[in-house]
Amino acid sequence: MKRILIACGNGVATSTVVASKIKDKCAEEGIDVSVVQCKLLEVESKASEFDLLVTTGKYSNDDITIPVVGAIALLTGINEEETLDNIVSYLK
């Protein structure tokens, strides 16, 4: 099972939308995932426990060693499939 950390400003609203779309795409691809949502401020303390970090805003931290995907496209709908495909590529 792959573990995905999804971070947004408050760890609730936009990360819920993103999490739902990622779960659906992973189910289509046959990838078993566990998704945890958090605030952007919590990422540094949690990231080491996960395989992938997905954020709804810009995020940069050289201490984070897992892949990071910006997922604003999952909120706007622009390049959504490309972003989902990118996420899946990190999980395979």
| Contact predicate 21/76, CB 8 Å | no
Q: Of the candidates 66, 76, 85, which has an alpha carbon nearest to the alpha carbon of residue 6? A: 66
Which residue among 4, 5, 8, 87 is the active-site one? 8
Tell me if residue 38 is catalytic. no
What is the C-alpha separation between 6 and 52, in angstroms, rounded? 8
List, by residue number, the catalytic residues: 8
